[in-house]
């Protein structure tokens, strides 16, 4: 019995280790008045409703959430894909934000995308 459990662990663990976090390949920011429109391109091996990238968020460099974009469905046949979030308020003095992606199984990715802001009021 122990041999069987050990064998199953050796088969199962590599599959868990190979699970891919959502990967952000590009992001842009456009200032409109006092708010921003953030567009994010990400890739994730969506397999359907059971496992898909379900959101991304904009953070300041201290980790405070400035905006959250929920992704309402899988993008199995649309990879990579880009989605935007308008109306993001970024406090004065901030010239860089971080973008972090999430999937509905593994949660928030540890990786962040660094997005410099080109703004007139920073």
Domain that holds residue 109: 20-116
Closest CA to 75 of 91, 54, 95, 57: 54
Euclidean distance between the first and the last CA atom of the chain, given in angstroms as a whole number: 64
Give the residues of the chain that fall short of pLDDT 70.
Answer: 1-19, 119-122
Position 13 in a domain: no
Q: Examine residue 107 and state whether it is found in any structural domain, yes or no.
A: yes
Give the model confidence (pLDDT) of 60-95 as tens digits: 999 999 999 999 898 878 889 999 999 999 999 999
What are the backbone angles phi and psi of residue 32, rounded to the nearest 5°? -130, 100
Domain of 35, CATH number, reads 2.60.40.730
pTM over 0.85, yes/no: no
The token duo for 47 is 């397999």
- 28 in a structural domain: yes
Instruction: Look at residue 21 in the predicted model and tell me its pLDDT.
Output: 87
Q: What local confidence, expressed as pLDDT, does residue 51 receive?
A: 92
42-60 in b/e form (b: 16+ CB < 10 A) is: bbbebeeeebbbbbbbbbe
Domains: count for the chain: 1
pLDDT reported for residue 96: 96
CA distance 28 to 88: 13
Please give the pLDDT value at position 6: 36
Residue 14 maps to a domain:
no
76 domain-assigned: yes
9 in a structural domain: no
């Amino acid at each position: 019995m122990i041999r069987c459990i050990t064998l199953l662990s050796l088969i199962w663990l590599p599959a868990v280790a190979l699970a891919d976090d959502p990967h952000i390949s590009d992001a842009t920011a456009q200032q409109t008045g006092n708010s921003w429109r953030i567009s994010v391109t990400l890739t994730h091996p969506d397999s359907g409703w059971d496992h898909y990238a379900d959101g991304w968020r904009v953070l300041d460099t201290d980790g405070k959430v400035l905006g959250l974009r929920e992704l309402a469905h899988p993008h199995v046949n649309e990879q990579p894909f880009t989605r935007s979030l308008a109306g993001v308020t970024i406090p004065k003095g901030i010239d860089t934000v971080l973008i972090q992606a999430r999937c509905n199984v593994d949660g928030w990715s540890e990786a962040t995308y660094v997005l410099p802001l080109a703004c007139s009021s920073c």
